[in-house]
Amino acid sequence: MVDFLMQYGLFLAKTLTLVLAIVMVIAVVGAIAHRRRQHQQEGHVEVRSLNDRYQDMRNELEHAVLDEETLKQQIKAERKKEKAEAKVRKKAAKEGKLDELPERKRIYVLSFDGDMQASEVELLREEVTAVLSFARPEDEVVLKLESPGGVVHDYGFAASQLERIRRKQIPLTICVDRVAASGGYMMACIANKLIAAPFAVLGSIGVVAQLPNFHRLLKKNDIDVEVLTAGEYKRTLTVFGENTEKGREKFLEDLEDIHCLFKEFVSDYRPQLDLGLVATGEIWFGKRALQHQLVDELMTSDEYLFKCSENADLFEVRYEQRRGLQERLSELAVESSDKVLLRWWQRASQTRFFMR
C-alpha cells in the first residue's frame, strides 16, 4: 500500500510538472504574440530608395528609346564604373582605410498633408524620431509640405516636430508645391531653405475665429440659456448665451496675442521678413512670395529631389499605421463623400478663375 502511494505520488508530481511546463510555454507564446500584435497595431517605418525609383524610370525609357547596340554600350559602361568603385572600396577595406573614403550625403524625404487639425502630426513625429536616430549632421531632411492651416495648438505641435530637426543641427529643406498658409506657413518658416513652386500659395500670417450666436433666436422662442462660470474670463463669447461688449474685447485681445506669438515665431526663423508688410493675413503666390522673402527659391519638389539624386542617396521615410477593417471602410466612405462634395461645389460655384 505504501509502495502504491509512493508510485501514485510520483505520478502526480510528474503530471503536475508537465502541466506547469505546458502552461508556462503557452504563457510565453501568448506574451510574444501579444507584443507582436501590439507592435503591428502601433505601426512601422517604411523606407524606399528614391534613387532606385529614378533609375528604374530611366532604365524603362532607355530600353524603349535606345537602339540595341547603344543600350549594350551604355550598360557596359555602367558596369565598368560599378566595378571600379567596388575595387576602390575593396582596396580601402584591405588597407584599413575604409573610413577615409568620402561617404555620399543622405537625404531623408518626409511628407505632410495638413488638414484643419493637422492630423498627420502623429505620423510626422514618428518619422522625425526615426530619422533623428540615424541621421548625421552632413545629411539633410526634406519635407514636402501641403497645408492651408488650421487649429493653432495642433499646428504649433507640428512645427515643434520640425524644430527637433533644427536643434540637431541637421539641414532642413521644405518644399511647397501647392499651399503652405497660416499654420502651414508656421511649419514652413522653420526650414533652413524654403522652396516653393511658382504658383504655390504662401503667407496668411494671421489668426481668425468665428462662431454663430443663437441668443436672439432662442429669446424669440422664449428659451432661456444659462451660462455659469467661475472666473471673469472663463467664457468670453458663447454660442447660445448673450455676448457682451466686454467679452468681445477680451476675445479680440486673445486673438491679437496669438497673432503676436505667430509673428514672433516667424521672425525667429526668418528675421529678414518685413512683418509689417507680410503679417497682415494676406497670401502670395510663389513669385510674389519670393519678392517678399517668404521663400528662398522657386522650384518644384520633384525638380529639387531629382537634382539632389545626382550627388546624394535619397530615402523616402513613411510611418505606416496598422488599421482595422472598420477604420479602412470609414476612411473610404469619407474620401468618397469628399469627392462628391467637391464635384458638386465645382459645378455650383459661380466664381471661377480663368487663365488666358
Average pLDDT over residues 184-205: 97
- CATH of residue 173's domain is 3.90.226.10
* 3-class state of residue 260 by DSSP: helix
Residue 353 lies in a domain: no
Question: Could you tell me the pTM of the whole model?
Answer: 0.75
- Which residue type does 109 have? V
DSSP 274: -
Q: How many residues does the chain have?
A: 356
Compute the mean pLDDT over every residue in the chain, rounded to the nearest whole number: 84
Domain that holds residue 238: 213-268
Kindly state the average pLDDT of the residues 73-91: 75
Same domain, 219 and 318: no
Q: Which of 41-45, 181-185, 292-296 has the lowest mean pLDDT?
A: 41-45
Q: Do residues 294 and 323 both lie within one domain?
A: yes
Paired sense of beta strands 193-196 and 140-147, if any: unpaired
Instruction: Tell me if 206 sits within 8 A of 290, measured CB to CB.
Output: no
Active site includes 168?
A: no
Same domain as 289, residue 148: yes
Residues 97 and 150 placed together within one structural domain of the fold: no
Q: List, for residues 240-252, the tens digit of each pLDDT value.
A: 888 889 989 999 9
Q: 94, 220, 234, 349: which one is catalytic?
A: 234
Give the burial class of 287: count Cβ atoms within 10 A of its Cβ; 0-12 exposed, 13-18 middle, 19 or more buried. middle
Decide if 162 contacts 193 (C-beta within 8 A). Answer: no
Q: Sorting pLDDT into bands at 50, 70 and 90, what band is 354?
A: very low
Residues 119 and 189 in one domain: yes
Answer whether residue 174 is part of any domain: yes
Bridge partners of 145, per DSSP, are 112, 176
> Looking at residue 338, what is its pLDDT?
55
Annotated catalytic residue, options 182, 204, 336, 337: 182
Rounded to the nearest 10°, the torsion over CA 92, 97, 99, 100 is: -90
Strands 44-49 and 172-181: unpaired
Check residue 8 and give its pLDDT.
Answer: 56
pLDDT at 40: 46
Res. 213 pLDDT band, cuts 50 70 90 = confident
Please say if 182 is a catalytic residue. yes
* β-bridge pairing 297-298 and 105-113: unpaired
In the 8-state DSSP scheme, what is residue 283?
E
> Which pLDDT score, from 0 to 100, does residue 92 have?
65
Angle at 348 between CA 343 and CA 350, to 5 degrees: 130
Give the DSSP per-residue string, 290-333: HHTTS-SEE--HHHHHHHHTTTEEEEEEEEEPP--HHHHHHHHH
Residue 187 falls inside a structural domain? yes
Where would I find the H helices in 168-279? 183-188, 215-220, 245-269, 275-278
3-state helix, strand, coil in the chain (%, to 5): 55, 15, 30
Same-domain status, 77 and 192: no
Same-domain status, 113 and 183: yes
**pLDDT interval class at 333 (50, 70, 90):** low
C-alpha cell at 321: 499605421
